[in-house]
Chains A and B, each alone.
Chain A
C-alpha cells in the first residue's frame, strides 16, 4: 500500500491575494484569540512546548553569545544594504553552476513558475520539505488544482496537511495537535490500526513518507539562506527531509525570499550558530544540505534540474524604511517561543503565515496594515522577543511604529481615536484633568463595592476575562500632595 495517503484537495483559495486561512478559525484576531484561549486542546498543547528552556541552556554555554548576535545582525545588514548586488552575485554564480534562477514578484508568480516547471518536466508526484514562502502563496492548493499530487514531508507539516490546516509555528508546525489527534489522522488516512505512542506514530509516518520520497518526481523546499559566494542553497532540517528532497527526485525547486541572501560561507557559518541555538537549543541542526547546481557527471544521485525561485511579494517595500530590520529575520522561532501572547493563543490566532512577534510585524507589512489591525497590538511590549532575537531585531519598537502608522492613517476604531483625542485635550489642561480624575476615582470606588473590584467596565472587553481593581478613592495628585505636606 503506497498511495493510501490522500493529500487534501484544493480548498479553493485564490492564489493571488493571501487571505487569512479560514481553516484555522474565522473572524478577527480578537475572535480567534478568544476561541483559542477557550480551546482546552490548544491550551494543553501549548503547555507541552518548552523550546525556551532549551535555548537558554544552549546560549549559556557561550559566554560571548551577545557578541555573536552583534556579528549576526551585521551580516544580515550587510546583505540588506546592497541587496540587489548580492542577489545578482548569487544569480551569476548559481547560473554558472547550472541552477536555473527564477524571480517572482508576487505570490501568483511563485505558483505559476512552479506549475510551469512541473509541467515541463512531466511531474506527477511532488514532495515538499518545509517552505514558509510556499505557505504565503498557498502553493499546495495551486498545484493540486493543476492535478499534481503534493505530499508534505516534514512530520509536522504532514500532520497539518492531513488535517487540512496550516502550520501554527514556523519550526514546530503541528504543535497545536495532540498525540490523539495525530493517531486519529493516521488511522483515517493510512487505514492502519491505530497507534498510540509518539514513537509508533513517527515510525508509521516514516514508512509512508519513505514510499513518497522514493517515488516522487519533484522536490520543493525552502532555503534558509542563499549563498552569494557559491550560488548555493542552504537547507536546515532535523528530520533529514530536506536532504531527501534535494537528493532523490529528478527535479528540485527551492523557493525563498529576496532577503535570504548571505554573502559568504563564513557568514553563513556564524548565522548557523545563532539559528540552531535560538531555534531548538541545539549547537547545530542535524542536517544542513548545501546544494549547488544539478547532478554532475558520474554522480549516482541528485536532481537533473535544480531551480531557485527568488521571491519579492512585498519584501522590497521594507527596504530603506523604518521596518527594514525585520528583513534580518532568520526564522528561528525564538520570538514566538518567548512571547506570552503566543504562548497563550498559539499560532493560528495570528491569521496568516507567520505568527508571534515577527508575524505581528511581517503580516501588516506584507498584506497591508489595514488587513491586520490587531496584530501590532497583540503584544504586551514586554520585550522578551527583542531580548532573544538572534539578529537583534527590535521587535517591540517595530510594533510600536506600526501602531503609530495605524493612528496616523486613521485605522484605529473611532472610539479609540475619539477617546485619545479627548484624553489629550484634557491632559493639556491640568485643572480640568485634575477635576476629571477626582470624579473618576470616586465613581470607581463606589463601583468597586465592598470587594473593591469592578466586574464590568462600560464598552470594554478588558473586564470580560478579569476584574479591574477599583481605585482607592483618591487620585495620585491628592495622595502626592498629602505626602509632600507630611514631609514638610
Chain B
C-alpha cells in the first residue's frame, strides 16, 4: 500500500470511522463547497474609496486619484518625476495601449525582467478592507511586472473595487470558473523586520507601490 492510502487509512482510524469515506461524508463536503458560507466578519460598513485609501497608506503604498483612464499617463509621468525615477516602464497590454506620446514616459508592452525599474499593471479587483491589489496571472497580465521592478504602479478603476476578500471571490467565481495559475494579493511594498525587528521596505519585491485610482 502506498503512502497516500496509509495516511488516509490512518486518519480514518484515528477518527474512529470505517476505512472508506461514506457517500454522506462526500456529499456534506461538496455541499459546503457549493454553499461556501461567509463567516463572521469585522464591521465593513465604511465608504469604499476612503477605506481603500486609508489602508493603502497604512500598508505604505502611496495613492493618487485621476478622473479617467486617459489621465493615467500624465499622473504616472508626474509621479516618476517627483520621485526622481526613470521615465521608462514596462506595462500590461491594457495600459501600454494608452496614449503615452505626450507624457514623456517610454512604455513597453512586455513582461518585466530583473533589469526593469518600473512596472505598470492594472488589477483584477481591489479590496477596500485592507488596501489590497488582486492580480491574476495570464498571457497579457504577467506576474513578474508587479514583482521584479523596484517601483510598481497599479491602476485601479473604481468599478473594480470591492469591500472585502469574500466579495472578490464572489465576482471571480463568475469571471474565472477555473482560477488562473497565480492569484496574487499585494498590499503595499515588500518588507522585512528580520534584522533586530527594524522595519525595512523592499526586501525582495518593489520598494514602492503607487496606486492610481481612476473615477
Query: Which A residues have a C-beta under 8 Å from some C-beta of B?
Result: 45, 48-50, 61-65, 67-68, 70-72, 74-75, 78, 81-89, 97, 102-105, 109, 153-156, 159, 172-175, 177-179, 182, 198-199, 201-203, 205-206, 209-210, 213-214, 228-230, 232, 238-241, 243-244, 246-248, 258, 263-267, 269-270, 272-273, 280, 282-302, 310, 312, 316-321
Known: A156-B194, A239-B192, A247-B143. A84 touches B55 (CB 8 A): no
The answer to whether B12 touches A206, judged by C-beta atoms less than 8 angstroms apart, is: no
Indicate which residue in B32, B181, B190, B198 contacts A296 across the interface (CB closer than 8 Å): B181
Indicate which residue in A88, A102, A198 contacts B198 across the interface (CB closer than 8 Å): A198
A-B residue pairs, 9 tightest by C-beta: A240-B205, A298-B139, A156-B194, A239-B203, A319-B14, A71-B39, A284-B130, A240-B190, A269-B165
Asked if B81 lies at the interface with its beta carbon under 8 angstroms from chain A, I say: no
The answer to whether B203 touches A269, judged by C-beta atoms less than 8 angstroms apart, is: no
* Binary A-proximity of B170-192 (CB < 8 A = 1, otherwise 0): 00000000111111111111111
Known: A266-B166, A321-B14. A299 touches B37 (CB 8 A): no
Residues of chain B with a CB closer than 8 A to A246's CB: 182
Question: Which of chain A's residues has its CB closest to B29's CB?
Answer: A85
User: In whole angstroms, what is the CA distance A64 to B25 when docked?
Assistant: 32
Question: Which of chain B's residues has its CB closest to A270's CB?
Answer: B39
Asked if B103 lies at the interface with its beta carbon under 8 angstroms from chain A, I say: no
A90–chain B nearest beta-carbon distance, Å: 10
Residues of chain A with a CB closer than 8 A to B164's CB: 269
Known: A283-B58, A317-B14. A302 touches B182 (CB 8 A): yes
Indicate which residue in B129, B181, B190, B198 contacts A302 across the interface (CB closer than 8 Å): B181
Which has the most chain A C-beta neighbours within 10 Å: B3, B11, B59, B189? B11
Residues of chain B with a CB closer than 8 A to A266's CB: 36-39, 166, 169
Secondary structure of the B side of the interface?
Answer: loop
Residues of chain A with a CB closer than 8 A to B169's CB: 265-266, 269
User: In whole angstroms, what is the CA distance A28 to B39 when docked?
Assistant: 44
User: In whole angstroms, what is the CA distance A203 to B137 when docked?
Assistant: 28
The answer to whether A300 touches B196, judged by C-beta atoms less than 8 angstroms apart, is: no
* Binary A-proximity of B96-112 (CB < 8 A = 1, otherwise 0): 00000000000000010
B50–chain A nearest beta-carbon distance, Å: 15
B185–chain A nearest beta-carbon distance, Å: 4
B190–chain A nearest beta-carbon distance, Å: 4
Asked if B132 lies at the interface with its beta carbon under 8 angstroms from chain A, I say: yes
